[in-house]
Amino acid sequence: MRVAVNYGMKQVELEADESRIVRGARPSDRGVSDPAAAVREALEAPYEYPPLRRALTPDDHLTIVVDEQLPSLGQLLVPILEHVTRAGVTAEAITLLVPPSTTGQPWVDDLPDEYQEARVEIHDPNERKRLRYLATTRGGRRLYLNQHVVDADQLVVLSGRRYDPVLGHGGAEAAIFPTFSDVDTRSALYQTGHLHMPGTKPWPIMVEALEAAWLLGAPFFVQVIPASCDGVADVVAGSTAASGEGWQRFESRWLQRISAAADVVVAGVSGDPSRHTIADLAAAAACAAGVVRPGGRIVLLSEVDIEPGPAFEILRGADDLTEIASRLGQTPAPEQLPVARWASAASHARLSLVSKLDADLVEEMSATPLESALQTQRLLDAGGTCLFLDDAHKARAILTDD
């Protein structure tokens, strides 16, 4: 049986006997053909909510929270700007609010001329004059958020849905809090990441995010459900009820239930490689590690060419990855999370990596460098069961008893 696996902007076809393939859902399509049209449709027909334009007046000042992790961001943002300006809101009355960032907002150049007057604001958690007190939470935390979040007549949140190792559930409410809070709150809540992914019960940090959104009134969420590669599978718009629906649609696509651990797991990291990082590789390795047998093989297919940071120095010449993984723990500091995930996966199974990294560097990361994705075939031919995971850096794979 021929199986196609996407990685970077490429695809490789591999052969495996059908009886050896462990079954699992594969979100292999690249999503909707016109993401902008999907946003327009979601704005006109939100989930259990009227169209956004009905809540707007020409005198309103609007804040749009912009998730810069979204691919083709301008293509997704323009339909929102079209929608609100047709309701009479002027471009000058729109603030495009982004988290603390070093990107330089290149997506602004993709906006049509009629929206260039919209103000781009980069959140600075250290700037107290740009924060507003909102309320005190049930847990006693005083909420200070960016002034454009608190003062807006209407708050719109454009965000992707994703698994987040610090927040649990990424996107929607989590795109507001603690993202746009003060420096002390951010420091307190961004102290630890998690090697495991969230279950049905939200983590405490997410409970606070839900409360913060409730205290803000009725933020309007535009949630982008990712597809394979850099595609868009779905767009869900609306308020509180839509947030839950968006997460369910995300999990129905990216939570993969696997019937048995495989001897070889082939995990792809597809899409524009310039957007991929070592953290994506580590996330893919962690995903695959959950469904490979102990001592099995994980083959990561990517075009990553960004070298790991200083945290990975701990792996150089390491003799005992299990000890390193144990030392970093289940809740490492966020900057240590990629190396903790990588060490944990490498201590559980043998890692092979296709990338644009130097072969010596890959070996220092306790992985076997492969010159091309076609070399994966040799590992499959060695026998045993195999499993193919698309975009493992986005997914969560779990073993079931079914």
Helix/strand/coil (H/E/C) assignment for every residue in 221-271: EEEEEECCCCCEEEEEEECHHHHHHHHHHHHHHHEEEECCCEEEEEEECEC
In this predicted structure, the answer to whether residue 44 has a pLDDT above a threshold of 80 is yes
Cβ neighbours of residue 360 closer than 8 Å, sequence gap 6 or more: none
d(CA 254, CA 232): 13
CA distances 293 to 14, 146, 267, 346, 351, Å, are: 21, 47, 15, 12, 13
If we measure between CA atoms, which residue out of 203, 100, 90, 78 comes closest to residue 146?
100
d(CA 94, CA 111): 13
- Superfamily of domain 2-24+259-399 in the CATH hierarchy: LarA, C-terminal domain (3.90.226.30)
Instruction: Please compute the mean of the pLDDT values over residues 111-119 and round it to a whole number.
Output: 95
Strand 368-370 versus strand 350-354 pairing type? parallel
**Residue range(s) occupied by CATH 3.40.50.11440 in the chain:** 35-253
Place of tokens 């591999």: 14
Select 35-253's CATH number: 1.10.10.10, 3.90.230.10, 3.40.50.11440, 3.40.630.70: 3.40.50.11440
The radius of gyration of the chain from alpha carbons, rounded to an integer in Å, stands at: 22
In this predicted structure, the answer to whether residue 283 has a pLDDT above a threshold of 80 is yes
The model's pLDDT over 146-173, given as tens digits with 9 standing for 90+, comes to 999 999 999 999 999 999 988 999 999 9
The model's pLDDT over 234-281, given as tens digits with 9 standing for 90+, comes to 999 999 999 999 999 999 999 999 999 999 999 999 999 999 999 999
d(CA 183, CA 362): 36
CA distances 345 to 135, 292, 299, 322, Å, are: 42, 10, 11, 9
If we measure between CA atoms, which residue out of 229, 214, 222, 199 comes closest to residue 78?
222
Pick from 137-146, 191-200, 392-401 the range whose average pLDDT is largest. 137-146
Strand partners, 142: 136
d(CA 228, CA 17): 24
**Residue range(s) occupied by CATH 3.90.226.30 in the chain:** 2-24+259-399
Report residue 402's pLDDT band, with 50, 70 and 90 as the boundaries.
very low
If we measure between CA atoms, which residue out of 39, 51, 158, 162 comes closest to residue 97?
158
In this predicted structure, the answer to whether residue 107 has a pLDDT above a threshold of 80 is yes
* pLDDT for 377: 97
